[in-house]
Chains A and B, each alone.
Chain A
Amino acid sequence: MIYLDYNATTPLRPEARAAMLPYLGAEFGNPSSVHRLGSRARVAVENARAQVARLIGARASEIVFTSGGTEANNMALFGIAAVKDGALVTTTIEHSSVLASATRLEEDGRRVHRLDVDRTGRVDLDGLRVALQHRVALVSVGWANNEIGTIQPIAEITALCRAAGAVLHVDAVQAVGKIPVVAEQTDVLSLSAHKLGGPKGVGALWVRGGVALEPRALGGGQERGRRSGTENVAGIVGFGAACQVAVVDDVTGTRTTELRERLWDGLAAAIGGVRRNSPRDHSLPNTLNVCIEGVRGEALVAGADIEDVAISTGSACAAGAAEPSHVLRAIGLTTDEARDGVRFSLGRETTVGEIDRTIDVVAALVAQVRRVQPREVVHV
């Protein structure tokens, strides 16, 4: 199978798997236990904490392990809203875990301001300036978008937030491991292990020292009281190992960018009516989102899967049917177009041969679909 869905999840890196195995076997201790078995688990968790911190240039003591990116985002929004008055400012293209949390806070009486983005998915900085003229508790922005790959101008956003005294939370789930991410540029940062070669079910929230955040899970006081519950030791150890190898990876993204452009050039040459939804600049090296005139996204994804190429539509319901993507709507696509966006997301295992084969498979599928439903093809 050709796997081009790295933004959904990544294969577990062998180093992470090897690091985890002892903790799925003999090293089953509870890190809070006093005996040596527990003590070894504690040391393993703290080593992993240091590994995660190093990847983002942060202090280990400021890392809170969670069950993943969604919990980290929920923890940031609800945890800060609980201790700080003022509006919540976010954008229209955030991950559902941020958008749903914002909506709930709004229902509970919080003022929420959702910033528009331009046609490339970049946040409206003038809009942010205006929003920050009012009292703002928290600004929450995604570092890089999971569907189209747009990278936000984090430095500018940081400067505006600092000047206004607003806490800046950045969802860096899709950015970490793909582009350099420095935690210090932000105040609170969400991470997820399985997007960078770690296991599913584990993530982290980095919280700058001095930023108050009310815990949501109360109990035994683990994670310095910020998230109670016995630690997911094997998962955390795998997360740490994945971060360690990610640190030594080439983070310039040159190779991945070349492959992505090879894919785009190949699709554009082989198929009429392809529209690029991902920007060329300020974009994750690995992400290419396109619409193909007259071809339903779900038909393309299913057809490609039958040919052993794994890609995805932007958004799906619980059952798995394609739904219009709020991100594509936000950058100006119609509801129909937003349902039919298809995402190719590349990874470190992706090869030139796989890209070329993917172009052939997609071109053949598009020809097949257009034979069934001949439509006016608009060349863009």
Chain B
Amino acid sequence: MSRGPRVVVGMSGGVDSSVAAALLVEQGYDVIGVAMRLWAGENGASTSGCCTLDYFLDARGVASQLGIPFYVMDFQRQFAAAVVDPFVAEYVAGRTPNPCVRCNQFVKFGAFWERARELGATWVATGHYARVTHGEDGDRSQLWRAIDAAKDQSYFLFALTPDVLSRTIFPIGALTKNEVRRRAEALGLSVAAKPESQEVCFAPRREYVSFVAKRAPAVRGGAIVDEAGVVVGQHEGIHCFTVGQRRALGLSAGRPLYVTRIDPVERVVYVGPREATTAIGLSATQAVWISGTPPLPGAMLSVKIRSRFEPTMVQVETATDHAFTISAPRGLVAITPGQAAVLYDGERVVGGGWIERAGFSDAAA
């Protein structure tokens, strides 16, 4: 029996990657399932995210059902160095990190792609909701939003290198979540009805503050200051705050106050009215352009400045291989340093970068 090209598919034990693997088998690929052990938690056994024993057992069960080889491989060191350590460092620097983008960039499509090639694979696949098209000879591969707009994960994938993008398959990117569940049921996959997991896998939402504090013992409290320079409260560490955040400020100012800026040097959290979190543009660095060349100044594109964000039309002010600035006529709310700004031309991902600050000229900083 002749087999198709070999693909290594990342299997987490969730429904999306399980269906992705099943579709690749149907399409005739020579499929190998690999689960990534990213995080062992405090006592060697993770209790959250998809690195728990139950998830690995689920993935192994699905692979067995599909009749494909399956291996658990260790990526803990790469994950710690590329994702967890920077996560802590960003909070300490007064920014709000996006660990999932870095995980995709350096682990799931970095070290993982290396392992896949070690196993003789020419393709790598995951259960992400995004689409990729591969150009004819020489043309770059292109990254597109998923068909299911509510599930679209292209935001998290902008930083993939052209090399790995050109060898990537997203088997479920053209399906809706409902279709994926139906496929899982039709295939009789044991994980068909499994619930979603969406939090930061190693530090679930409510635990991230203590997670950071534990790894950055130097974090100390400071003042909360309003736009008039008046100290309106005290805080227990800048890592507890995100620009645009309203809740949990511990203030009773009699008016809603939002975090507008974080000064990591003086450990000051600045607050102001909602309007004060809005800026007419932003600067981003470490740019990645999927076509290989930056867009031209004046280009009208849409931007997402965090994962849950309605794409908003912006104009490119400047764009180089490494950085860009954009302006939004009606402003962007809660521009958060440390998050990614991803630019779209309709459904197509043009590229993106990491938000350095609100405002697009040096004077605005």
Contacts and interface: CB of A to CB of B under 8 A. Distances in A.
Interface of A: 296, 298-299, 301-303, 305-306, 317-323, 339, 368-369, 372-373
A321 B120 contact: no
B119 A299 contact: yes
Contacts of A305: 69, 71
Given A372-B114, A373-B114, A306 B120 contact: yes
Contact of B120 (A339, A368, A373): A368
A321 B37 contact: yes
28 contacts: A296-B115, A299-B115, A299-B118, A302-B32, A302-B34, A302-B71, A303-B118, A303-B119, A303-B120, A305-B69, A305-B71, A306-B69, A306-B119, A317-B40, A318-B53, A319-B35, A319-B53, A319-B56, A319-B57, A320-B60, A320-B71, A320-B72, A321-B73, A321-B74, A368-B118, A368-B120, A372-B114, A372-B117
Given A306-B32, A318-B53, A321-B37, A373 B118 contact: yes
B315 to A, nearest CB: 42
A369 B73 CA distance: 15
B169 to A, nearest CB: 19
Residue of B35, B72, B74, B119 with most partner-chain A CB within 10 A: B74
Interface in B56-83: 56-57, 60, 69, 71-74
B61 to A, nearest CB: 13
Contacts of A373: 114, 118
Nearest to B116: A372
A368 B118 CA distance: 6
A323 B45 CA distance: 13
A236 to B, nearest CB: 30
Given A317-B37, A319-B35, A372-B114, A302 B120 contact: no
Contacts of B53: 318-319
B118 A372 contact: yes
Interface of B: 32, 34-35, 37, 40, 44-45, 53, 56-57, 60, 69, 71-74, 114-115, 117-120
Contacts of B72: 317, 319-321
A335 to B, nearest CB: 10
A308 to B, nearest CB: 10
Contacts, number: 58
A369 B69 contact: no
A73 B71 CA distance: 30
A302 B119 contact: yes
Nearest to A323: B74
Contacts of A321: 37, 72-74
A179 to B, nearest CB: 33
A20 B37 CA distance: 40
Q: For the complex of A and B, list the 5 residue pairs with the smallest distance between their C-beta atoms, beginning with the closest.
A: A319-B56, A320-B72, A321-B37, A321-B74, A372-B117
A322 B53 CA distance: 14
Contacts of B56: 319-320
A108 B40 CA distance: 27
B185 to A, nearest CB: 26
Residue of A298, A306, A320, A372 with most partner-chain B CB within 10 A: A320
Given A298-B74, A320-B72, A321-B73, A369 B118 contact: yes
Contacts of B120: 303, 306, 368
Contact of B73 (A302, A318, A368): A302
A301 B32 CA distance: 13
A132 to B, nearest CB: 34
A318 B43 CA distance: 13
A156 B72 CA distance: 42
B79 to A, nearest CB: 12
Nearest to A303: B119
A303 B71 CA distance: 10
Contacts of B74: 298, 321-323, 339
Contacts of B57: 319
Given A305-B71, A306-B120, A319-B72, 13 more contacts: A296-B115, A299-B119, A302-B32, A302-B34, A302-B69, A302-B73, A303-B119, A305-B69, A317-B37, A317-B72, A319-B37, A322-B73, A368-B118
Nearest to A295: B118
A320 B53 CA distance: 10
Residue of A321, A369, A372 with most partner-chain B CB within 10 A: A321
A129 to B, nearest CB: 36
Contacts of A369: 118
A179 B57 CA distance: 37
A321 B37 CA distance: 7
Nearest to B71: A302
Contacts of B117: 368, 372
B165 to A, nearest CB: 18
Contacts of B69: 302, 305-306
Contacts of A372: 114, 117-118
Residue of B44, B69, B120 with most partner-chain A CB within 10 A: B120
Contacts of A368: 117-118, 120
A301 to B, nearest CB: 8
Contacts of A322: 73-74
B328 to A, nearest CB: 43
Nearest to A319: B56
B119 A298 contact: no
A322 B119 CA distance: 16
Nearest to B40: A317
Contacts of B32: 302, 306
B301 to A, nearest CB: 36
A318 B73 CA distance: 12
Residue of A303, A322, A323, A372 with most partner-chain B CB within 10 A: A372
Contacts of B35: 319
A317 B35 CA distance: 13
A319 B56 CA distance: 6
A298 B73 CA distance: 7
A323 B57 CA distance: 18
A367 to B, nearest CB: 11
A88 to B, nearest CB: 24
A131 to B, nearest CB: 30
A14 B226 CA distance: 82
Nearest to B57: A319
